Amino acid sequence: MIRWIKLVLFIGSLIPLGLLLWKFFGAHPSDMSTWGAGLGANPIEAITHTTGDWTLRFLLATLAITPARKLLHLPSLIKFRRMLGLFAFFYACLHFTTYIWLDKFFNLHEMLADVAKRKFITVGFTAFVLLIPLAVTSTAGWIRRLGGKRWQALHRLIYFSAIAGVIHYLWLVKADIRKPLEYGAVLAVLLGYRLLVWIQPVIKRRTESASQRRAEAVAQ
């Protein structure tokens, strides 16, 4: 069953790319003069936006797995987390490639100028770089090599990558900040859940020791 769901998830995760390619090549893929027409007046912008959006969506979906498996009592959801995380990285690679290849034509000088001039590029780049060690160490072999604790600590980098991704979006939009704020709100809920889980035992310990002190004071 899990294998079938994984297959469906894998195919489903490729649909945004499939649609992008479909729109790019159009109904006459052999006619180069029509390439990109299906993506509107600015095909490169359309590709950048679609791949950026999907990177963020997959990052949030990956982060949603832990709360979902706990709250819905579905521990097996963990089996899909790695795939979703790798798809986030896959779309981030496409997004980054669109920028360096289609947008900047590998012009390093222009890219460096862009990084200096447009701070949203620097944050986006940070978000991307943070995902690289996670993708590299996503295999069972790396979990064994690093040990569960260290692997988990390293994989907390995804929180910072997602935060940087939302800031990247927030800083690049000119007027309507509704969409980045929506992504930000979802991220806040997902990170807030983790904060609650982390803080709960601390609060419990404090209440327990306070009531123990009170009981001792009453007994004296």
Return the number of the residue (52 or 77) whose C-beta is nearest ligand HEM: 52
When the beta carbons of 104 and 200 are compared against ligand HEM, the nearer one is: 104
Q: Is 191 in the site for ligand HEM (CB under 6 A)?
A: no
For tokens 């509107």, what's the residue? 40
Selected binder of ligand HEM within 23, 49, 79, 194 (CB under 6 A): 49
If the CB atoms of residues 136 and 203 are measured against ligand HEM, the closer one turns out to be: 136
For residues 81 and 168, which CB has a smaller minimum distance to ligand HEM in the complex?
A: 168
Q: Binding to ligand HEM by residue 48, rule CB under 6 A?
A: yes
- Smallest distance from ligand HEM to CB 124, Å: 3
Which of 92, 62, 94, 86 has its CA nearest to residue 134?
A: 86
Nearer to ligand HEM, 143 or 157 (CB): 157
| Sole binder of ligand HEM in the list 80, 87, 90, 96 (CB under 6 A) | 96
Span interacting with ligand HEM, options 7-15, 63-71, 94-102, 137-145, rule CB under 6 A = 94-102
CA distances from 163 to 52, 140, 220 (A): 14, 26, 52
Does position 124 bind ligand HEM by CB under 6 A?
yes
Torsion sign across C-alpha atoms 202, 204, 209, 214: positive
Give the contact letters, 160-189, x = binds to ligand HEM (CB under 6 A), - = no. -x---x--xx--x-----------------
Q: Which residues bind ligand HEM (CB under 6 A)?
A: 45, 48-49, 52-53, 55-56, 92, 95-96, 99, 121, 124-125, 127-128, 131, 161, 165, 168-169, 172
